[in-house]
Amino acid sequence: MGRAPCCDKANVKKGPWSPEEDLILKQFIEKRGTGGNWISLPHRAGLKRCGKSCRLRWLNYLRPNIKHGEFSDDEDRIICTLYSSIGSRWSIIAAQLPGRTDNDIKNYWNTKLKKKLLISSSTNNSGTSATILVPSTFPDHHHHHTNINLFSHHHSPYQVSAPSSTYYDQKPVLMNSSNHLNNNNNTTTYSPPNLMSLLSDNQSQHSCSSSDNGSTSNQVSYGTSTTTHAFVGSTQEHNMAYHEGFYNFNITSGVEEDHDEVHKSSSIPTPSGGGVSHSYDPWNERQNGLWSDHQNHQQLEEIKQLVSSNPNHNSGWNFFMADAQEKFMMYY
């Protein structure tokens, strides 16, 4: 038994949107909003379109501040880094790129960036090992995880407890002749991939200081201060965290900060839930599916720093899911 269709297929128009339809939809939403119901919106607006189609058209094309056209090097870098870390979670990646839609990024990746990387990889690795982009599956033999002290493994290879969430099922990594993944009892050692190095040298030259001797540290220096980054959210939140922006907190002490404090102190707004009491209004916080420019800017800058800080060696992301709170961390 199939799912009931979301609309009367016989009475809805399909295919490309006309300028007239665009105008009707745009004016209606700007004037009345979505009303929290996309299904009824086309009827209310007088459009012979499926609600899903309207939603897509608005989100991907009509809403304000949508950015079309060429992707910048910074955007390339962010996409590559996030793809190498989390795979084809386009909406999450899009959340880090103000004005870009998941569809946009997905198309861009599939049509251009992937090829660019493949070309770069064959160039950069000529005479050495071939670097290929492959989806990897973390071993999934533990649906429950043993707490690991991430902070006791500050040096590469990172310790990774295999996450169980389907979020990671297709996590791609760059593999070269030296295998990045090794199973070791209950933990997987993971030498983070160096996807960014596949981008052009020009793109890889960035100012944040980091060792270029191949050594790995989770500590990233910005000027005279040393900062260690991580992103954290509880499992119930990690979906939201992904959607609404990354959390960050300082782990230089090796002690995880209180979540409430993390949220309070974070420059990135976080959703409510998981015991976090402050109110969260997604519409105010992220109108039209995007953070405000200021918020976007802050997030973007943080990610830029992360991405650009360590492009040439084993910088990377570390994942783990702790059992008790099933925390998800991206550990840099």
Residues at the site binding DNA, with contacts judged by CB under 7 A: 2-4, 6, 9, 13-17, 34, 36-40, 50-53, 55-57, 60-61, 68, 88-92, 102-104, 106-108, 110-112, 115, 166, 170, 239, 243
Place of tokens 């420019």: 293
Spatial CB neighbours of 267, under 8 Å, sequence gap ≥ 6 = 248, 298, 302
CA–CA gap between residue 232 and residue 252 (Å, rounded): 15
Contact between 314 and 216 under an 8 Å Cβ cutoff? The reply is yes
User: Which CB atom, from 12 or from 148, has the smaller least distance to DNA?
Assistant: 12
Q: Which DSSP letter does residue 290 get?
A: S
Shortest spacing between CB 157 and DNA, in angstroms: 27
Shortest spacing between CB 120 and DNA, in angstroms: 15
Run of H or E residues at 328: strand 328-331
User: Which CB atom, from 61 or from 151, has the smaller least distance to DNA?
Assistant: 61
HEC-encoded secondary structure of 37-76: CCCCHHHHHCCCCCHHHHHHHHHHHHCCCCCCCCCCHHHH
Shortest spacing between CB 236 and DNA, in angstroms: 8
DSSP 77-142: HHHHHHHHHH-S-HHHHHHTSTT--HHHHHHHIIIIIHHHHHHHHHHHTTTS---EEEE-----S-
Shortest spacing between CB 183 and DNA, in angstroms: 25
User: Which CB atom, from 122 or from 215, has the smaller least distance to DNA?
Assistant: 122
Shortest spacing between CB 88 and DNA, in angstroms: 4
Q: At what angle do helices 293-309 and 73-86 cross, to 10 degrees?
A: 80
User: Which CB atom, from 16 or from 127, has the smaller least distance to DNA?
Assistant: 16
User: Which CB atom, from 274 or from 311, has the smaller least distance to DNA?
Assistant: 274
User: Which CB atom, from 102 or from 326, has the smaller least distance to DNA?
Assistant: 102
Shortest spacing between CB 129 and DNA, in angstroms: 26
Shortest spacing between CB 62 and DNA, in angstroms: 9
User: Which CB atom, from 115 or from 143, has the smaller least distance to DNA?
Assistant: 115
DSSP 198-230: GS-HHHH--SS----SS--BSEEEETTEEEEEE
Shortest spacing between CB 33 and DNA, in angstroms: 11
User: Which CB atom, from 6 or from 23, has the smaller least distance to DNA?
Assistant: 6
Contact between 101 and 60 under an 8 Å Cβ cutoff? The reply is yes
